[in-house]
Every structure is written in structure tokens, then in C-alpha cells.
Amino acid sequence: MLHRYGKTILYLAAAIFMSLPVVSCRSTSHTTHTYRPYHERRNRGVAPHDDTPSVSDPHKPTPGGNGLVSDEWAQLDIKLGRNDNKKLYKELKRWLGTPYAHARQDCGEGTDCSGMVMVVYQEVYGIKLNRNSAKILEQNCRPIDLDDLREGDLVFFFTNDEERISHVGIYLKDNKFVHASSSRGVVVDDLRQNYYATHFYSAGRVLK
């Protein structure tokens, strides 16, 4: 009886084994995996050739030449903290987008670099600066290292072959600074951009 049941169990086991799918035991060392780009993996529900235009994110920076122009600091990828000078940012926000105009300092209408810096410092700090970028560094500032830059400090550049100071901007944070570009008006740029890194002259802290 036991022998008969044993044979029955063996037959059942063999039948089950034969019904299983065949699995290849070949080496997988040469298996090729295809990785989808990040934007495709992120949008799994979108067809690979979907031509529907994407909706622009209103919180992303808006490019303007080599820098950024915007009406909102959130769009400039600048996160304000509780210790940031809100008065400074509020005043500079008024100037963003002001077109460049030599020898002027009129918010929203036209300004050059030193004109904007002079007015902003008068409004925010009650400090009167010179009307010339080179003289601002010479008479109103003490030079500081790049590593010591903090909100409200000034950054100076040379834009000619003689390497004399000819441009100034106001430092914000995270390598960003505001200045009046001769081609784009008042914008926010990054000190690490090739042009500004190449033409950087000095950083300065305004004397109280």
C-alpha cells in the first residue's frame, strides 16, 4: 500500500514539473539594459512622441540674455530668509527691468550701474555714495575677499582692456548680484558666469 502511494506521489511530482515553464539558465553577463532618460521616466503617462507643448512653470527663472529678469524674487531662484534685509530686496525689486541709460538714475525709466547703486544705498541705508564706480571703491568702500561677501556688499568689474573699474553691482546671496547691464538693463546675474568671473575686479564693503 505504502509502495503504491509512493509511486503515485512520484507520478504527480513529475507531471507538475513537466507543466512548469522552461527557464533559461544562460549567463546574464551580456544582458543589455536600456535606461530611459530622466524626463521620460518622470512622465511615464506621456506618449514618447507627444507633441503637446508643455505649460511653463511660473516659478522658474526667466532667462534674459546671460542673466535673469523678473518681477518676483521667487522667479530668480533666491530664497529669502528671516535674516535677509527685506527693505533692500523690496527696493531692488522696483529696479528690475529698468532699461540702461547712461548718466541717469531713474527707477523704471533708465539708469546706469553706479546711478542705481547710488540711489539704492541712499534709500535703503541712508548712505550717500559717489556717482562713479571706481570712486565708490576708492572712497566709499574697504576691499574684502570674495569669501567674505554678504548681502548688500558691492562687486566691481572692469570691462575694458585697461583693467580699470568701470562697472558695479550689489551682491545679494548665493553668488547672485543685481546690476544695470548696458545691454539688458537692471538684471540679476551670477558671479560664476564666465564673463563676470573673467572681468571681476574686487569686492567691497561700504563704510558706515
The pLDDT of residue 147 is 94
In sequence order, the β-bridge partners of residue 204 are: 143, 154
30 is catalytic: no
Among the listed residues 3, 25, 39, 113, the single catalytic one is 113
113 is catalytic: yes
Instruction: Read off the pLDDT band of 79 (50, 70, 90).
Output: confident
Among the listed residues 3, 49, 107, 167, the single catalytic one is 167
Query: What is the rounded distance in angstroms from the CA atom of residue 172 to the CA atom of residue 149?
Result: 9
The pLDDT of residue 50 is 26
Query: What is the rounded distance in angstroms from the CA atom of residue 117 to the CA atom of residue 131?
Result: 9
Instruction: Read off the pLDDT band of 157 (50, 70, 90).
Output: very high
In sequence order, the β-bridge partners of residue 165 are: 158
More confidently predicted of 59 and 130: 130
Q: Which cell is 81 given?
A: 530668509
- Helix ranges (DSSP H) in 74-132: 86-95, 113-125
163: amino acid identity, one letter: E
The pLDDT of residue 2 is 45
The DSSP call for residue 162 is T
5-12 average pLDDT score: 55
Whole-model pTM: value is 0.66
Domains of the chain: 68-206 (3.90.1720.10)
The pLDDT of residue 161 is 76
Least confident range from 15-19, 110-114, 188-192: namely 15-19
95-115 average pLDDT score: 97
Helix axes 86-95, 113-125, angle to 10 degrees: 150
199 is catalytic: no
The pLDDT of residue 60 is 33
